[in-house]
Structure 1
């Protein structure tokens, strides 16, 4: 438990105070200035920022040493005799600290800092402790981590313990299924079940999962033992060589550091949740860890508001608070079934054909398809078995799984544990006051449960549009959240332009998913025409279901799930929109709620072209996305009538309207709002995450906030060392995703997009010199680009998608508003749009006006009126047609002009990202050699001979690297059996390799060549920083290290 934390004003001193085994311990991290005068000034006040306590640990980079001769090994030592005495006077002596490592190892010299070029080694990392820390230290030693040029330090303390237990959740390491022994052992276990299990019951499934968990845990133990043994061997060798090291030891230490880093990265990566997600797999371990940390922060609970005790922060009290809250929340809600007839009156229902589709028995094919559609890397349920494991073993056990669930249906219940869930609580926003109402409960279900619920969900999605009105868009194929924002923005813009007063009410349903009465749920399914077989499946999944709540490292006792729809279950979205549809149906048919008539709805031809129906009364009364319901009001009576509909629904279902959070957005610049009961907003409101003002635009204050937030995130990510490819992924998927969502739905000033694109480009290059053209960087990786986001093209692609929907026959209510803004420009391609006799506008500042302009441009450039899934997306078509410029090497190197495979081969060669990035920069003349940067002949000269250092000379012609080139040829001949010449076209641009038909040979050879090129560049960097250059042995050692694990050995 972290009970306190803080920093000094400059962020050079950071501390945390923790409680461990009921003992308060303060841990302080220090980073002293590198400049002497700043460092001396820093040390004078250092003790004032360090909390005093009995158990005190202080460590960090102090940039000074007690003995400049013993503690530094470098060329041209800079003596500093002032800093350490000040540190002794102002921190060590006043706080009664001892330097732990030196006191435990007084005769050992172990360097903890090593610069990148391996020429400077020192002991500037100091680790102090109070007297009790020193007494209880059982072991202390340095270890390399590979993540920094400073080694880590391991301190083992003997701290008194107590009997308090914490919840430790086991989650399977999905890489275990790739071990040969896993499938061998699994088949043996499964053969035993085939001979002994009673497949006419469901209990065998529980026994099978227990055996599977034991097997996975056993594989993890073997794997960890192997890793620990290898790591221990490397660490012992490192510690031996790090004591009074020779020059050869320094080379070997670098090799060992890289091997240790590889093992640690693999171990850490296995503990990072979500690492298999599509946008994350290509990132480095540091980037993965930061993303996982950001996600984990959403579920970290610091304190809760207890109804009696007030604010509580101990796990016991928070568990009690959460248990009481969710027992009440998920208890059976009282309902008034006498309201049902009124609520369900005249509600649409499924026809017999659609109902029969849902009644069929569940098949193995459906289960296979459901499992394949599940994303990798997601958190599993209580059993800890991930989706990767199920995908591996399901071809073997799938038939018996289907048999098990059908047996459960016949018996009317599943075996114990199948319906259990782990409830995690996610913060809804940053304004947390400790109330559990501000947390969103997410049920983590076991994958075997999710396979069944996914099958039922897929079936449900196919018929939802038959009973759910067009104004509800959640979870229904062909409808998106964009439709809701389009209609709200259009109504606001239309009434603002005509200066007609109108109000939009945003209704807030308290815990809308969690309060649904299960009896009401089943009755809704019945009234909507669902058959008994499908209803029984739903009943089976909700009968006797339980969950446990996870609060940090503690867990509650099981709680019964007596009401509500589980958020986190694949069925949740579909079931909820069915439950709320009777409410929306009653609002639509209430004649005392007026709604609005969109422009053109008075013309049958326009209605027919948009809705594919005739004689339809188009009256927009609401817009809904799941429980986010917006309705129209002009006066107090409209609000009162709509409130009555919500009360009817609440009485029938167990729901509850949160009147304090219901907001009315009043749109008028000349008339004050009526005396509404709900809170009134007049400047702007957020609709589904998009801020909209009374003109239908993004408010400038909110736009500034979004851009500021993006710039802050860019600044945070700039502190992590990322490759250009990783930086492009982080920008697109994790920094700009919400901004792109808002920008795709709202009109924007062009200047805003241009300025933000400049910021994106600066972040991409991390404020360094741009080596490759921006118009090349935005291209696909296989074409020589980095997939850097081109913001204007991304926005244009969304506008074009919107424009293509106007051409389609899919019903969209917002088309009534779009027609009058797109008719002038699109009538050539869609004459029916012009049949709308309302006034037409040609205003590119309007959203739909911009849609029309960009869509016409798309069509004129050869774009199709529909995009198939087999074709590149609109974004990539725009990039390739209008923005992307081929890399400069494709223009200068003859054999690359008509051959696009060069970059694809590099990317598919399994080279480290840093090597791939370097090779692409080298191929595009983006590497700065001495010949390019030098001003005099001496400055332009190669470091290893008297000739000018050009890229061709350094990597191809320099005689100093002849032995390295011979070594590379040997590797290539052994791996691929081919010979290449020592020419720039052959080595850097793969002329011969591109002509080979074998993909395997291409990738093997490219892997070797890429490491050859990068080894020379690394060795050159070491030389520049003072490394010795009398022979090529150091460079050969680097190359050997890189080639230790050659991929494709098994073909």
Structure 2
């Protein structure tokens, strides 16, 4: 396997220990031999000059000490000369309580702080107040803190006493973005670093800590406490490694900021126009277009490099001038401050540009005009990098691997196997397809098969979403939107060439797979990661053209029991129907069984041959099917893992999550399952009012089945097996759920059984509907609190906060309001959270009636939850009265 941009670095081994006095060299030698450490931090040394001379005989490398009073305190840091360079003493308090050093390792400057906090609370508080100013750069703080940070840091049953120094330390950690690294990795674990016997009773606590700056999180490895016989404190050991962080060079990404710059725009437009004049020299239009994109990339990189150099030079000149003005300000009594303010304003522009870059890389969804440039985006950028970083993973043998190359090989092999063509049973495929009895009409077929027009290309370009990661060519959607009128005819010519020659350029069908943890299940298992295909914009434009055509016909062939990606349909239609059916089954004394079936990697397991056969069955013509075959049959992908791209591999099955047409293709592929189940007369469905019946309800791959008896469940499972053999689908029995209503479990279906309620599409539903409702709303409230807390990190004005509430928070609870009633206690709690967010907990300053008013009336158009609640009810009545589709919930509507 080829590894791109791979570098190798070593590990630095640390040990920190409170030695309880270290005046004997035998004890010191024992500590040194405990672990082959490169940096040793010792607290409570009790050293004097004579002791240090003896220590130097054993440790012949760097030694830095702060002895203090000698007999009751003292800290020391010892470093290996062959590991670190340029060690510099920064600070000590001469009381034996704190020692600060800096050193270089692999070209990076680290700061190490060793502290021995006093037993006295007031003195300890003062030490922590002083500590914050030293926590800068790549900072690691170790030592005996003499304070319990959490109840978990002490023996069960012990009194967790009030301690003002704890609050000071936590405040410093928040402000300086410092974390307790051991606790971060052991969130709920109770382990201790000090054990002492007091009056015959064992007292235990965790007071020996390693605190690190947030951006060093992934550098620290193997943090553990190792107890010794010569101290009542455990030794805290860990390694700092640079071998697994920021190794990948990643891919080039066009800078959106340059697209509006006059100089860049002029040169880029000239480049494109020149290449258009030269295109007649190249018969292969795919090859020509790839060459044009490569030249755009080269030009953009050179432009960016020149601009960065120029800006850096200008910034340095400004800083030098600013420093000179500051010197004058100090020395000249009548100094005119206007020059200083002018230079400061110019320099702030560079800071704003840096912030914009961080915003772009962090992909912040909402950027509010006028927002101050704080450290928020820089932290968000680092958090985004950590979120996609994999430190260890489980391979196919069940072994946990943490070697860099082994992780990449494991990831590549997993997805290569996942997307490999499976065995499809031709007989099962025919059986499934025979259940499909609807087709698109002739006019729709001709519309889907028509020639692509330049207007369709332009419309697709307008629909591209901005602020999205680009595909392997690095060219962002903003480029196409800005130069749409120039590029649309070019793309049309390229697409026509592709169809006529059954050929597609390599970059256009090469996906860049980014894997994201689903936030459930073990992080060691790749099954718990979602692969998102990042595709080129030129690919997305073509796929959008095809998707826009297919959307026009889906309503005619997809039954109302499937509501995913079908225009006019809503996820609420699915949830409302399931809710009402469960309530009927619970009330009618007959009861029944509800299944929530989990399809394993549903989008990734769709067999292409089955997908194309389904399209033919629904009456799609050869031309649109040929287009999709062109995009899918030649598709390849590479996985981006820890900043490195794996080798490319062929995508033999799946609909790519990230492709504009993938949702529609998936809906088409899964709809025959519903038709197959509905045609099986042996399945005892649930009768619903007005002569209808309830059997299957789908939203994408989320499938809920409602039947009356266990024989029907067995038949449903058999139908899923047939469908699986035809399409590649696979039921995940461990994650599938069964709920019995008015019945006892007499079957053995290997499904997880729930008693009262289960979660469907983010909402709890069940026989105890009030409990399920309250549980759902409690989750919404917690989510709103988390979002609000995140936005507290940004210096927003009142108008900005209103935008956050209306645009971001509202979507969190509007979704649930569509399917569940909102009790007064929920409305009250949400309003309380929002008011606290608007006014920072300092009391209301503007009346609510004013805030919800229009701008013309002096308001800010804040959404009124109570009014929105009424509006949603009106919307449901309107849908009942005027929507022609026969949704299941309509049967229950009175």
State the partner residue of 1:646. Answer: 720
SS in 1 for 2:722: helix
1:758-769 alignment, distance < 5 Å: 758-769=832-843
CA gap of 1:274–1:267, structure 2 versus 1, over 3 A, is closer
State the partner residue of 1:405. Answer: 495
Matched, 1:307 2:380: no
1:205 deviation in Å?
A: 0.5
User: 2:520·2:528 contact (CA, 8 Å) conserved in 1?
Assistant: no
From 385, 388, 393, the counterpart of 2:478: 388
State the partner residue of 2:768. Answer: 695
From 662, 671, 675, the counterpart of 2:736: 662
Q: Quick one: distance in 1 between partners of 2:579 and 2:77? A: 54
CA gap of 1:177–1:130, structure 2 versus 1, over 3 A, is closer
1:593 deviation in Å?
A: 1.5
CA gap of 1:187–1:124, structure 2 versus 1, over 3 A, is closer
Matched, 1:711 2:785: yes
1:1030-1045 alignment, distance < 5 Å: none
CA gap of 1:785–1:195, structure 2 versus 1, over 3 A, is same
Matched, 1:423 2:505: no
From 556, 570, 575, the counterpart of 2:665: 575
1:309 deviation in Å?
A: 6.6
User: 1:26·1:55 contact (CA, 8 Å) conserved in 2?
Assistant: no
Matched, 1:239 2:323: yes
1:434 deviation in Å?
A: 1.2
1:234 deviation in Å?
A: 2.3
User: 2:638·2:645 contact (CA, 8 Å) conserved in 1?
Assistant: yes
From 587, 594, 610, the counterpart of 1:520: 610
State the partner residue of 2:827. Answer: 753
Q: Quick one: distance in 2 between partners of 1:456 and 1:391? A: 19
SS in 1 for 2:769: coil
User: 1:58·1:129 contact (CA, 8 Å) conserved in 2?
Assistant: no
State the partner residue of 2:694. Answer: 620
1:128 deviation in Å?
A: 8.6
SS in 2 for 1:414: coil
1:631 deviation in Å?
A: 0.9
Q: Quick one: distance in 2 between partners of 1:25 and 1:786? A: 57
Matched, 1:267 2:354: yes
For 1:452-486, what per-residue CA distance to the aligned partner results, in whole angstroms no more than 9, with x for missing partners? 00000000100111211111111111111111111
1:244 deviation in Å?
A: 7.9
1:703 deviation in Å?
A: 3.4
- Which ranges in structure 2 are unaligned for 5 or more consecutive residues? 1-8, 17-36, 42-70, 112-129, 142-174, 178-212, 214-239
State the partner residue of 2:262. Answer: 180
CA gap of 1:791–1:411, structure 2 versus 1, over 3 A, is same
Q: Quick one: distance in 1 between partners of 2:377 and 2:555? A: 39
Q: Quick one: distance in 1 between partners of 2:433 and 2:404? A: 45
From 374, 387, 406, the counterpart of 1:317: 406
356-365 or 297-306, larger mean C-alpha shift: 297-306
CA gap of 1:463–1:774, structure 2 versus 1, over 3 A, is same
Matched, 1:217 2:286: no
1:343 deviation in Å?
A: 1.0
CA gap of 1:684–1:412, structure 2 versus 1, over 3 A, is same
1:102-251 alignment, distance < 5 Å: 125-126=133-134, 166-198=248-280, 200-201=283-284, 202-243=286-327, 245-246=329-330, 248=335
User: 2:74·2:96 contact (CA, 8 Å) conserved in 1?
Assistant: no
Matched, 1:771 2:845: yes
From 675, 682, 700, the counterpart of 2:755: 682
1:412 deviation in Å?
A: 0.8
Structure with greater strand percent:
2
For 1:328-369, what per-residue CA distance to the aligned partner results, in whole angstroms no more than 9, with x for missing partners? 101111111122221111412222121111110111100100
1:271 deviation in Å?
A: 3.9
User: 2:595·2:739 contact (CA, 8 Å) conserved in 1?
Assistant: yes
State the partner residue of 1:378. Answer: 468
CA gap of 1:24–1:441, structure 2 versus 1, over 3 A, is farther
Q: Quick one: distance in 2 between partners of 1:46 and 1:800? A: 73
State the partner residue of 1:981. Answer: none
CA gap of 1:297–1:784, structure 2 versus 1, over 3 A, is farther
CA gap of 1:336–1:5, structure 2 versus 1, over 3 A, is farther
1:788 deviation in Å?
A: 3.5
User: 2:738·2:752 contact (CA, 8 Å) conserved in 1?
Assistant: yes
State the partner residue of 1:361. Answer: 451
* Structure having greater relative contact order (Cα 8 Å, sep ≥ 6): 2
Matched, 1:341 2:430: yes
User: 1:464·1:476 contact (CA, 8 Å) conserved in 2?
Assistant: yes
User: 1:443·1:568 contact (CA, 8 Å) conserved in 2?
Assistant: yes
User: 2:507·2:536 contact (CA, 8 Å) conserved in 1?
Assistant: no
From 810, 814, 822, the counterpart of 1:740: 814
566-575 or 487-496, larger mean C-alpha shift: 487-496
- Which ranges in structure 1 are unaligned for 5 or more consecutive residues? 9-22, 28-43, 60-64, 67-83, 104-121, 134-147, 154-158, 603-617, 821-1051
User: 1:26·1:57 contact (CA, 8 Å) conserved in 2?
Assistant: no
Q: Quick one: distance in 2 between partners of 1:273 and 1:2? A: 32
1:123 deviation in Å?
A: 13
CA gap of 1:263–1:428, structure 2 versus 1, over 3 A, is same
State the partner residue of 1:825. Answer: none
1:666 deviation in Å?
A: 2.7
Q: Quick one: distance in 1 between partners of 2:761 and 2:729? A: 21
237-246 or 722-731, larger mean C-alpha shift: 237-246
Q: Quick one: distance in 2 between partners of 1:477 and 1:235? A: 56
Q: Quick one: distance in 1 between partners of 2:428 and 2:315? A: 68
SS in 2 for 1:92: strand
State the partner residue of 1:784. Answer: 858
Q: Quick one: distance in 1 between partners of 2:815 and 2:267? A: 48
SS in 1 for 2:508: coil
1:543 deviation in Å?
A: 2.2
Matched, 1:672 2:672: no
1:789 deviation in Å?
A: 4.0
User: 2:87·2:102 contact (CA, 8 Å) conserved in 1?
Assistant: no
SS in 2 for 1:741: helix
User: 1:383·1:446 contact (CA, 8 Å) conserved in 2?
Assistant: yes
Q: Quick one: distance in 2 between partners of 1:444 and 1:52? A: 46
Matched, 1:468 2:558: yes
Q: Quick one: distance in 2 between partners of 1:391 and 1:186? A: 14
SS in 1 for 2:840: coil
User: 1:780·1:786 contact (CA, 8 Å) conserved in 2?
Assistant: yes
1:161 deviation in Å?
A: 10
CA gap of 1:128–1:433, structure 2 versus 1, over 3 A, is closer
User: 1:684·1:699 contact (CA, 8 Å) conserved in 2?
Assistant: no
TM-score by length of 2: 0.72
User: 2:249·2:643 contact (CA, 8 Å) conserved in 1?
Assistant: yes
User: 1:633·1:639 contact (CA, 8 Å) conserved in 2?
Assistant: yes
User: 2:426·2:726 contact (CA, 8 Å) conserved in 1?
Assistant: yes
CA gap of 1:241–1:381, structure 2 versus 1, over 3 A, is same
Q: Which runs of 4+ in 1 moved over 6 A?
A: 1-6, 23-27, 44-54, 56-59, 95-98, 127-133, 159-164, 274-278
State the partner residue of 1:507. Answer: 597
Quote the RMSD (CA, aligned, Å): 4.2
State the partner residue of 2:682. Answer: 592
1:261 deviation in Å?
A: 3.3
CA gap of 1:760–1:50, structure 2 versus 1, over 3 A, is farther
User: 1:315·1:551 contact (CA, 8 Å) conserved in 2?
Assistant: no
379-388 or 454-463, larger mean C-alpha shift: 379-388
Aligned residue pairs total 708
Q: Quick one: distance in 2 between partners of 1:448 and 1:395? A: 14
User: 2:596·2:705 contact (CA, 8 Å) conserved in 1?
Assistant: yes
Q: Quick one: distance in 2 between partners of 1:724 and 1:680? A: 48
User: 1:514·1:564 contact (CA, 8 Å) conserved in 2?
Assistant: yes
